[in-house]
Amino acid sequence: MAYHGRHSGDVISSPPPVSSNPSENRKRILTGLRPSGPSHVGHYAGAFTQWLDLQNDFESFFLLADYQVSDYAENLPWIRWGLWEVTLDWLGVGLDPDRSFFVIESGVPEFAELTLHLSWFLGLGHLQRNPTLKAELADLENKADTVPVAFFNYPVMQVSNILLPLAHLVPVGDDQLPHIEMTRDVAMRFNRRFGETFVVPEGRVGKVPRLVGIDGKGKMGTSAGNAIFLKDTEETLRTKIRGMFTDPKRLRATDPGTVEGNPVFMYHDAFNPNTAEVDDLKTRYRAGTVGDVEVKDRLFDAMNTLLTPIRERRAYWAERPSDIRDVLRHGTTEMKRRAEPVMARVRTALSLDYLHDGPPPPPEGAP
């Protein structure tokens, strides 16, 4: 419903009820990802395992944040492709579209509208002090002149993503916590000034920190050439693990090796549920009585066991594109349905209902 279409007789002083369906009274999570390509095992360990747990207890909105992919306008073909890839990954790991909602960000224009309104409540200085943004901006330093305005909009968009569905909890990686802090700040200030409108959300960081890439250099990244993707075949998985960096100082299997900071053992800790085997490998590695090949073969077995059912579910859905379209349409439509009353309330709070009655009395001091 467009606000300028309201009839003068409509009652607008009290906001429309957010929900009349009791299942919608469950606490909600909203979280998301930029769909710039297929997901890797770092996403799985750091985010998806936590989401899988939470979807049992919370009404869950999983957002495909297409509008936040950097260089959006340059990357349209990648985003179109990446959105399907990420959706397949989510279905593959077992996020359940019968219980949870998969939402296409740009399919809910209310996000953009709320972003515009909330940009009045966030100072540029505040954004520039946000450590995550600061780091991203530093990466862009040499093209400072060409940084698009959208770069500064994206954290506000993220605030809108969280506030619009009235999410209670936002499970994220620790680099996203400054954005949650901003969200809380905006929600509290808006509520104080205009009356209870938004839920003040909590952030929650998962147990597994950022995973290093198979090159052992930086964190695993979709386009960094150091990722194991959820969709990798068994052969690709084997090749990637065989080529992983280990302890660079260890030349022979009989040399005592270092376990700490060794990518292969970090992956064992993250993905091998057989802790007795992992402990044994560590002991023998330190003593110089096990070779890299055996350590890697055990890792391959563990990861392949984990990824096989994911691969299979992914393949199942990949053959059913029209079902996937239904999933995305359903989640996006539901998000929009929830967004509309909240947006109506925001417009009322901001006195955008100009056509509701005649001209208002002049404010104090008006000429």
> Where on the chain is the footprint of ligand TRP (CB under 6 A)?
30-34, 63, 65, 68, 158, 161-162, 170, 172, 176
How far apart are the C-alpha atoms of 284 and 339, rounded to whole Å? 57
Closest alpha carbon to 188 in 113, 128, 122: 122
CB-based contacts of 195, cutoff 8 Å, min separation 6: 349
Report the residue closest to ligand TRP, judged by CB.
Answer: 65
CB 264 within 8 A of CB 302: no
Nearer Cβ to ligand TRP, position 42 or 263? 42
Taking the complex as a whole, the smallest distance from the CB of residue 31 to ligand TRP amounts, in Å, to 5
Q: What is the dihedral of CA 217, 220, 221, 222, to 10 degrees?
A: 130
How many angstroms separate the Cα of 72 from the Cα of each of 37, 150, 220, 349? 13, 9, 22, 32
Query: Residues 214, 244: contact at Cβ < 8 Å?
Result: yes
Question: Which of 184, 186, 177 minimizes the C-alpha distance to 204?
Answer: 177
Q: Which is nearer to ligand TRP, 170 or 230 (CB)?
A: 170
Kindly report the number of other CB atoms within 10 A of residue 330's CB atom. 15
**Closest CB to ligand TRP among residues 60, 176:** 176
* For ligand TRP, the closer CB: 32 or 257: 32
Tell me how far apart the alpha carbons of residues 263 and 101 are, in angstroms, rounded to a whole number: 35
* AA letter at 33: L
Measured from the CB of residue 130, what is the shortest distance to ligand TRP in angstroms?
A: 12
Q: CB nearer to ligand TRP: give 244 or 339.
A: 339
Residue found under tokens 């057989």:
274
Please list the residues that pair with 103 across neighbouring strands. 63
How many Cβ atoms from other residues are within 10 Å of residue 20's Cβ?
8
Burial class (CB in 10 A: 0-12, 13-18, 19+), 229: buried
DSSP designation for 125: H
> CB 137 → ligand TRP: shortest distance, Å?
15
Burial class of residue 177, CB neighbours in 10 A (0-12, 13-18, 19+): middle
Question: What are the φ and ψ backbone dihedral angles of 287, each rounded to 5 degrees?
Answer: -85, -10
Kindly tell me which of 229 and 285 has the beta carbon lying closer to ligand TRP: 229
CB 133 → ligand TRP: shortest distance, Å?
Answer: 11
136 or 277: CB nearest ligand TRP: 136
Distance CA 339, CA 240 (A): 43
Please, what is the minimum distance in Å from the beta carbon of residue 167 to ligand TRP? 8
Shortest gap between Cβ of 299 and ligand TRP (angstroms)? 27
**CB distance 234 to 223 below 8 Å:** no
Of 70 and 274, which has the nearer Cβ to ligand TRP? 70
Q: Provide the minimum distance between the beta carbon of 78 and ligand TRP in the complex, in angstroms, as a whole number.
A: 15
Burial of 363 (0-12, 13-18, 19+ CB in 10 A): exposed
* Least distance between ligand TRP and beta carbon 72 (Å): 13
Least distance (Å) between residue 68 CB and ligand TRP: 5
Nearer to ligand TRP, 100 or 158 (CB): 158
Q: Which is nearer to ligand TRP, 34 or 184 (CB)?
A: 34
- Least Å distance between CB 305 and ligand TRP? 28
